[in-house]
Amino acid sequence: MKIAVIQMNSVSDVAANIAKATRMIERVVDLEGPDWVCLPEHWNWAGGATRDKVANGDTVPGGPAYAAAQQLAAKHKIWVHSGSVLERAEGAAKVHNTTVVFDRTGREAAIYRKIHLFDITLPDGTEYRESASVIPGREIVTYDCEGFRIGCAICYDLRFPELFQALAANGADVIALPSSFTLQTGKDHWEVLCRARAIETETYFVAPGQCGSFMAPSPDNTGSERRFTYGHSLVADPWGHVVAKVSDGEGFACARIDKAFVDRCRANIPVAGHKVIGGEMAPVRWGSGA
């Protein structure tokens, strides 16, 4: 299967972001002919205060971002793993951070809502409080895609290896992690964590990201400040090699993934069968779907 990762610089303009994502997907389809395409986190909206996120959140199903991704999948007969969108939550003054996946016919194939929320203070004092505007998800999600099982995660989930072990135990041989990693954390942690998750789970690890800057409220909410994302979207194979990568700026990268290579890696180093939990061997076989 040929896959593509899309790297964007989304802004606080839903229509502009949708138009850009459409152009980028149509360009990669025209030039590379992928079977499966993944957008980054927050591709429909970036920045703004909680009220802005709620006001510009997408309706799932039926919102403009949902409809655009669905139509692109059906038009080009590709799978669209629609990064993540800010999804309106019924009756709440917050949103979900939500992945929606569409198959080649435009049928909704999976929905995942981000579990781990980015509530941190960077070394320079910059604060991120995702929980102020986002309701966390609770469900671990995988879906079948033409001989592969793909596990869903989003951005800050990357730092919680238990989630990826659960995805592998549920049969995932590919994991998609649309992201909007900060520049400060990304330059030190992004690639090493992506490669580590690929090696630990012996999966293809597919990680498209946001690049460039966007405007966000200042910590005291009296103004706004420019924040920077890291980009460097990548695909790592089950041996931990980066086999595709986007350079600085908006763009895309493609790779071919091979189920037989996943199987060879797991046969060579069968870590799933060597797990020891609570002093006993864990009854886990990756790929079993258990």
Peptide bond into 208 cis (omega under 30): no
Helices 191-201 and 161-169: crossing angle in degrees, nearest 10, is 30
Annotated catalytic residue, options 20, 38, 41, 265 = 41
Contact residues for 3 (Cβ-Cβ < 8 A; gap 6+):
34, 35, 36, 37, 38, 206, 235, 254, 255, 256, 257
Do 214 and 46 meet the contact criterion of CB atoms below 8 Å apart? yes
Closest-CA residue to 252 (of 54, 18, 14, 20): 20
φ, ψ dihedrals at 4, nearest 5°: -140, 140
Phi, psi of 188 (to 5 degrees): -105, -30
Residue 117 CB contacts under 8 Å (≥ 6 apart), including other chains: 97, 130, 131, 134, 136, 156
Catalytic residue among 87, 114, 194, 265: 114
What is the distance between the terminal CA atoms of the chain, rounded to a whole angstrom? 25
22-to-17, 73, 244 alpha-carbon distances in Å = 8, 11, 22
Q: Which residue is catalytic, options 155, 194, 211, 265? A: 155
114 is catalytic: yes
| Contact predicate 136/114, CB 8 Å | yes
- Catalytic status, residue 254: no
DSSP-derived pairing of the beta strands 204-207 and 119-121: unpaired
CA 60 remoteness from chain centre: 17
- 41 catalytic per annotation: yes
Q: Which residue has the tokens 């790592």?
A: 236
Question: Catalytic residues, which ones?
Answer: 41, 114, 155
